[in-house]
Chain A
Amino acid sequence: MTNQELQRKANELRVDILRMIYKAKTGHIGGDNSIIDMITALYFKHMNISPKQWEEKDPNRDRFVLSKGHAVEALYAALGDRGFFDKEEMIETFSQFGSPYIGHANNHVAGIDLNSGSLGHGLSLAVGMALAGKKDGRDYKVYCVMGDGEVAEGSVWEGAMAAGHYKLNNLIGIVDRNRQQISGTTEEVMTQDSQEERWAAFGWHVISIDGNDMDAVDAALTAAKEVKDRPVAIIANTVKGKGISFMENVASWHHGVPKEEQYEQAMAELQALLAD
């Protein structure tokens, strides 16, 4: 896919996310829409992963860990669109009684290796996956998406330390730096500026980009795969709620659910993006 096509796909997935959350009356739309461009680039271009590889348990496939497990709507949308499962059925049953499509990443869903939802676990899971790849001499990559509020968890830095120590050049960590968390801005809640210096200090190669610019996302992922001597941290500077004007950079849309009028306005804005 070209970057233009990837951007269009990301916006299509934004529509899916909006539909899921509006129907279920629950979800984390702000963080979904900040990271969906990155997830789209991963699932539709950069990662070596397909439904067939999943079914056949291909040990050489790439791994993905959504450490900010609450952005699961974005992941379900990408997996559904890639054909890991019936996307429409997922949208219809998301968060409903008995559904496997629950509100955090769930490994009863095709395409998801491990559960997440409690913050600060995913990076260490990814470190384990990356170490397994090294032990077995496989050349797959492991991608881990974290939130910028999440990195307040101390366990993130245990994982970062080990990845740096073992020079895991098959591990790419992505921080969704949308600068908002449930209680307000990250800088109000707990200072998270200087992410670049922090990851570099733990022995990571750092790439800082506009995480909602598909050209920048594509270039960063391409460059990350070429780093040979250490893990890579991509600081994806994003806008929480990206693509829906009234949700952008508003902390209350961390897990807000649109009312009917808001839903219609949001859908109209996304359709306008797709019409471009």
Chain B
Amino acid sequence: MAKKLNRQVICDVLIEKGREDKDIMVLCSDSSGSSSMTAFHKELPDQFIEVGIAEQNLVTISAGLASCGKKPFAVSPASFLSTRSMEQVKVDVGYSGTNVKLVGVSGGVSYGALGLTHHSVNDFATMGSNPGIRVYCPSDPVQTEKLTRALLEDEKGAYIRVGRYPSEYIYEEDVPFELNKAMKIREGKDAAIIACGEMVPYAVKAAELLAEEGIDASVIDMYCIKPIDREAVLEATKTGVIVTAEEHVAFGGLGSLVSQIVAEVGGAKVGSITLPDAPVIAGEQWEVFDYYGMNAEGIAKTVKEMLAK
């Protein structure tokens, strides 16, 4: 199956739009290579700013640029951007209301054996808890492209997390996309799997495994962590069983946000697949996923367990 780096997709869109609009800028913190922004730097050098290894400065300089009408994209590994720059995001982007788009690359545990310093396991929680900051975690290259184009059209802050490895294509080029509306990949009446980012392909495969056993599960791609698509969650409650899957700790993640909505209306049990509340075992991203049951088999197993409860 064809694959592409989501961060490369973002770079391609920014180069295309940046040629037409010189206010579109990219800022990196010694991260242009790791974030696939070298091509932007090469194509549009006057619209690229290197700040060095200084993530606080990365975000706050971006806010200063935005206050003068620039449309900065601050691109840095998700682990550092979402925690080292936390207060800068809170104050200079969220509070001041600046149009800064924060792109966290190599998200989740994709840096594998480099350890927890390099894992963004809590970025949905840290970034999303800031008033005024939206949080997105796209799954495939098509969705990433549509999301990037949509975010270029507005003037508010947002955080976008993408992974380190190429993503499988899930969607066709002409798939309908509306910002902040979840994308339903599969209909199902027995259970609903709500996933985001790297967990979405596993959710699709889990639904296929469940279908073999006669269990009809829907799959919802909730790339919009904040604002979450409430209607899609309410719709999912009709199955009676929801299982969420995310590359994030339980605290403040997709599972907790879905549960908060379901708790208001009832009608469904919610099971959550998340990273543990501990540094993860050393290994490549997929080895870590397998170890913690964050894969198709694990999702299918949790769906069955929830159905049996």
Contact = CB atoms under 8 A, between A and B. Distances in A.
Are A and B associated in one complex?
yes
Nearest to A160: B57
A125 B70 contact: no
A134 B223 CA distance: 37
B51 interface: yes
Given A128-B63, A155-B60, A162-B52, A135 B70 contact: yes
A143 B282 CA distance: 48
A129 B88 contact: no
B88 A161 contact: no
Given A162-B54, A162-B61, 7 more contacts: A121-B60, A128-B66, A131-B61, A135-B46, A158-B52, A161-B52, A165-B52
Interface of B: 22, 25, 46-47, 49, 51-52, 54, 56-57, 60-70, 72, 87-88, 91-92, 95-98
Interface in A83-139: 107, 113-118, 121, 124-133, 135-136
Nearest to B67: A113
Contacts of A116: 91
13 contacts: A59-B68, A107-B97, A114-B98, A118-B91, A124-B60, A125-B61, A128-B72, A131-B61, A132-B65, A135-B25, A158-B51, A158-B52, A165-B52
A63 B65 CA distance: 12
Contact of B63 (A63, A114, A165): A114
A107 B61 CA distance: 17
A135 B97 CA distance: 22
B49 A131 contact: yes
B64 A125 contact: yes
A114 B65 CA distance: 11
Contacts of B87: 118, 121
Among B22, B47, B54, B72, chain A packs the most CB atoms within 10 A around the CB of B54
Contacts of A161: 52, 54, 57
Contact of B92 (A63, A114, A132, A165): A114
A126 B64 contact: yes
Contact of A59 (B54, B60, B69, B72): B69
A132 B98 CA distance: 14
B293 to A, nearest CB: 40
Nearest to B53: A158
B61 A128 contact: yes
Contact of B62 (A126, A128, A135): A128
A159 B57 contact: yes
A129 B60 contact: no
Among B46, B52, B57, B63, chain A packs the most CB atoms within 10 A around the CB of B57
Contacts of B88: 121, 124, 155
Given A107-B96, A114-B98, A162-B51, A132 B56 contact: no
Contacts of B97: 107
Given A107-B96, A121-B92, A132-B69, A127 B46 contact: no
B205 to A, nearest CB: 44
B13 to A, nearest CB: 21
A154 B53 CA distance: 13
Given A114-B96, A118-B87, A121-B91, A129 B65 contact: yes
Contact of A158 (B25, B57, B62, B67): B57
Contacts of B51: 158, 162
Interface string A247-262: 0000000000000000
A5 B56 CA distance: 41
A113 B63 CA distance: 11
A107 B47 CA distance: 26
A136 B67 CA distance: 13
Nearest to B64: A128
Would you list the 3 A-B pairs with minimal beta carbon distance, nearest first?
Answer: A128-B64, A124-B60, A132-B68
A18 B94 CA distance: 32
A63 to B, nearest CB: 8
Nearest to A117: B91
A63 B63 CA distance: 14
A165 to B, nearest CB: 8
Contact of B57 (A59, A117, A127): A127
Nearest to A123: B60
A154 B85 CA distance: 13
Contacts of A154: 56
Contacts of B49: 131
Contacts of A159: 57, 60-61
